[in-house]
Structure 1
């Protein structure tokens, strides 16, 4: 028997004037795991709150900062699965970020953008950045607060994209093509070592009679600062990800994400194959609502998981422009070496208030 209780804090962007805006999101969620194997059933809540502040000078100069706060940690500490059931920034994620001794301040950067003759746009960003803001974006599977919750559908788990640390971004856009290059220095990985990250994404956006679609190739690598499976030597990480989203008419959309990483270092998963569909509520007279259906299979790496399966379905009901309530069900299975696998379902309610 599962019981849900959820609330959302009061609070889309508030434009103070033409160049200064404040926006954010407050979320309250409850997740309950119903396990066939792998541990006891449990219900846990999480309450993230994020605020974004932007100063924009006619699109050429932008100063931006994002702050994150949260109460509770959701199912993360008690989940037996290899993938997080909610890829949100929760309480412990916002303390001593990347071993830097910094709490709550997620990003703070300056961007200069220039449009060249011929329409080519060039931008340079420096500061505290989040690689997921620039790499592996997807229109239908990229937001843990308003779309899918499981990390398999937010960003490729095989892509090891770092967040909230010092770095720079170089962007070029020309017609349907866009190139993004990201360089970061991260304070600490799971092995306690600092490391360098380099990544790039080339994307192509096309408008067809079905609608808009964007197709991306992402490559990335790190310095030799990750322990191998035996913990004896430090190795680098390297990955390739293919990501696409395509509108299929006015109300239907599809997404696909494929990823591979090498396994010289200790990695949980070596390959990702995921995809799904989204349906807008305009199909039944509620244009703010939406349905998402996704499935992901991940081949194991060298850390004990041989294969993971994740299926997720959600319905998001909008109430006005700012409020929404989402019901979500995940079906998760981890196959492990020796047959000691994990299998179960995760039921979630998530309320959001955007401002």
Structure 2
């Protein structure tokens, strides 16, 4: 059975019908529903409220938002306003900036009467590029997994954090891409998925892996370090929302702690991300903006009650103060390597990737 056939599509961009629909990931894993986006404002809100998640998918949705904006008006000023609105929706995810800026630059370079058709073509093209990227990245990640399996000579235990799977992209994912293809190639493995508070994206990773038949175990966020200390984890692979030129990496809050535990236990820690996630204008992690989100994400959780009804419950004093950064920065010194669609690079060699990326 192909692992590529078991998850719902995350985004539809219909160039002919000028229609955009996204999977509403706020409802997963309990319901699978799609939301039609009518304009750039709705695209920005879908990004902001996490209807769509994951840096690559956010970028594709941003590109689709620019196509929707061009349907409203092809005037340069209007497109600039739409671009700024979209980019402000999730400031840490650099794929969003990249996709929106790419669209805006291309559209500004042509006559207004050509922009509407071109915008939809470009958005569909970016979507297809992300799909191809995921497949290329998977090949490089699978090589690492295969080498470790041959070295250890036993089934592998791989830990991941947040959701950097199919739901975060338009194909195989980033952190999970090589896991899917390695499993399909017959390598025995089990994935340990951190639940990833407060939005519990790790539960989505577990859901999609289980749907694909990949052995998976959902664990509490704080269990990862103990599993590593016990020798129960062989490899850590995470995704990224923005990677600075020196390799410092912003990813979902909690990633830094996993990297520290991996380093202390001599466990390889890889970051899987496409070239569009690298921000060469950011010299280090200190240049990466960290999004702070609503405290209600900590105070409230959504799920299914014992009667099978969806509900939200408050788990603390509703007036309690909170601090809720959405991301943290893992220093490059804790990262074994970067798995990209253009190969695997250690932090010291990112300068070669930068030259080859023509960015």
Fold shared, TM-score > 0.5 on shorter chain: no
TM-score under structure 1 length normalisation: 0.26
Normalising by the residue count of structure 2, what TM-score does the alignment of the two structures yield? 0.26
Report which of the two has the higher share of helix: 2
Structure with more of its chain in strand, by fraction = 1
